[in-house]
Amino acid sequence: MTLKSRIDSLETVVKGYIVGYLLAIAGLIAVAFVGLEGPVTDTPHRFFIAGISVFTLAFAGQVVAFLRGRAPVRRVLDAAIAPELVALVLLVAALKPAADVGFAVALSVPMFYISAVRRRDSWFAAGLCAAAYIAGHGVAELTGARHQVYEWAAIGIQAGALVYLGVALALNATHHAEHESQIQAAKEANEHLTDRLQRRLTELHAVSEITEIIHSTLDFDTIGPVVIEIIQKVIDLPSCSLFVIDRSKSETLFSTSTFQPGSAPVDVSYDVVSGRGNDEHFSCISVFDHKTMMVVFCAETEALQGMSAEDKLVLQAVASELVVAVENSQLYKLTRTLAITDELTGLTNYRYLQQRLDEEVGRARRYHKHVSLVMLDVDDFKQFNDTHGHIAGDEALAELARVLRSCVREVDVVCRYGGEEFSVVLPETDATGAYVVAEKIREGIESFEFADAAGERGVSLTASVGVASYPAHAYDKETLLKQADDALYRAKGSGKNRVRSPHRKLTPPGEVDEAAPAGKGVGA
């Protein structure tokens, strides 16, 4: 660090102290030249040279200490007070003939000290200077400078004035320092209140934002990550998780987690029975407890313990909104499920069939894949109802739905088309594969023993089945439905209990249409 930068780094009061000290030294030298008479070897001259030397050395030591910056200002001044008092005695003794300039020196030392230190006990420096001022006159008396009685009285008054002035300056400096301290404390308190207010506003804005996000959609799974990220930023947690739990079923309905950037994600879960998380570094607290639901918040143990009451209030506000949103989401999912579900069989209904066919035909067109449709109708089902009753008929339809599910893959879509008609969508299945599935369904229904009105099994049912495939038999959804439906009614017209596909496949020029295998239950 350069000398200039060291000087620039000094406090303003220290810079003022140094300038005042330099002016004092210059003034003393000027007074000595003007006021001291006689040869240099005279006692006053020797006292002055010795005093100004000690005074200057004390000053130089202080300047070095200030520039080094290793000691507090008070310690530097305390260390310099002793040589300064010695210098003061010598200067007062030397300058007594020069209109008692020593009084000005005695006055300047405590003033410099008090202005730099600003401590109540700094009046003691003024007392020491007053004593040194009297001692200097005593030395002058001993060396031949005679004082009259009134002069000693004036010296005493001046010494008392030094003490009084030092005390007054010290008290004033102390009062000023206390006032500054109060102002600083008030400023810090205001800043603290402003920070708290800003934080509360941020939290309110976050709660408002989360509430708006939560109620903007009924598909709650998509907004969970956004909600937990906002919570993490507002509460300033490195990693945290949130769980919404159905207390009646001990089941987690919703969970989301976020982790500090750069850290490895932790698979945090919450055990409803034990009420604890699965990670030893994470702790969990319940932030909302409802009759049927509860919201649990998990975070690193140390961070969770350091949460303020205001942070927990934010969590509680968010949690209450989450519970409402989850309940609304559940109701929405239930309503949507009921809208596409056949109540009797538990299968999806005609509306869902239309939706899935649009999706699967569109996907097959984009990726040049196959999709097939199986349509079946229970043969002579009116006769079954007339013989065994509608209750047995409803049960038979429900059992037939279970047979259909057992004959297809999980990815296949089984629907109740209406009445005793059913449909099966077979994604990524060509005409040959669909024909095999259709025959499996027909055989499964034929071999199953249905219950009569008394619950006794042994009643047989059969079904006529039509099969069509995209792009072999159709170019769009409507054509696919029509081709499968036409094949179904050809199966009905050709003897029932059999599988039929369209008469001709739509094949590119030059390719030969494959004939369907012959035999019972198989037709072209």
Phi, psi of 263 (to 5 degrees): -90, 155
Torsion of CA 337, 341, 346, 350, to 10 degrees: -150
d(CA 468, CA 284): 56
Alpha carbon 448 to its chain's center: 60
State mean pLDDT over 18-31: 76
Q: Are 396 and 385 spatial neighbours (Cβ–Cβ below 8 Å)?
A: no
CATH architecture of 220-339: 2-Layer Sandwich (3.30)
3-class state of residue 99 by DSSP: coil
Among 171-180, 262-271, 277-286, the least confident range: 262-271
Task: Examine domains 220-339 and 350-523 and report if their fold is the same.
Answer: no
Query: How far is the C-alpha of 415 from the C-alpha of 352, rounded, in Å?
Result: 8
How high is the pLDDT of residue 115? Answer: 61
Cα torsion angle, 131, 133, 134, 140, sign:
positive
% of the chain residues with pLDDT over 70: 78
**CB within 8 Å of 126: residues ≥ 6 apart:** 110, 114, 162, 163, 165, 166, 167, 169, 170
> How wide is the angle at C-alpha 227 spanned by C-alphas 226 and 232, nearest 5°?
100
| Beta bridge pairs of residue 252 | 245
Please tell me the pTM assigned to this model. 0.50
Listed by start position, the domains of the chain span: 3-183, 220-339, 350-523
Higher-pLDDT residue of 513 and 100 is 100
> Would you call 152 helix, strand, or coil by DSSP?
helix
pLDDT (mean) for 485-500 = 95
The pLDDT value recorded for residue 100 is 59
CA distance 402 to 388: 20
Give the whole-number percent of the chain exceeding pLDDT 90. Answer: 31
Which of the following CATH numbers is that of domain 350-523: 3.90.50.10, 3.90.1150.10, 3.90.25.10, 3.30.70.270? Answer: 3.30.70.270
Rounded Cα distance, 347 and 118, in Å: 89
Dist. CA 380–CA 36, nearest whole Å? 144
